[in-house]
Amino acid sequence: MWIILSVIASIVLIVFFMRGPNAIWGGATIGLFIGIIMAVFGKGLSWPIIYKPIVVGILIGLVVELLGVFSKALKNKKF
């Protein structure tokens, strides 16, 4: 499951690379900080402990970006 999520997160990072500051890169950064904190205060440095929060942060950032797109679409739609 983590392999599939990692591939999706990698594709999302590539797609949003040149779009400036956005929620996806923010989520990746926060996930990195959380992963490092978990590795330092946990049982020791383990790469899965660091990369899993990064992947989760990227996917949460994707959800936030999609909510923004849907919000703009609903805002522009006339009832």
Q: Which two tokens stand for residue 28?
A: 């990746």
Q: What is the pLDDT of residues 3-56, one digit of tens each?
A: 999 999 999 999 988 888 889 999 999 999 999 999 888 877 888 889 999 999
Would 45 be classed as within a structural domain?
yes
Please tell me what DSSP assigns to residue 29.
Answer: H
Would 72 be classed as within a structural domain?
yes
At residue 56's C-alpha, the angle toward residues 51 and 58, to 5°, is: 95
The whole-model pTM stands at 0.85
**For residue 26, what are the domain limits?**
21-76
Compute and round to an integer the Cα radius of gyration of the chain.
Answer: 15
Number of structural domains found in the chain = 1
Would 54 be classed as within a structural domain?
yes
Q: Mind giving me the DSSP string for 46-60?
A: -HHHHHHHHHHHHHH
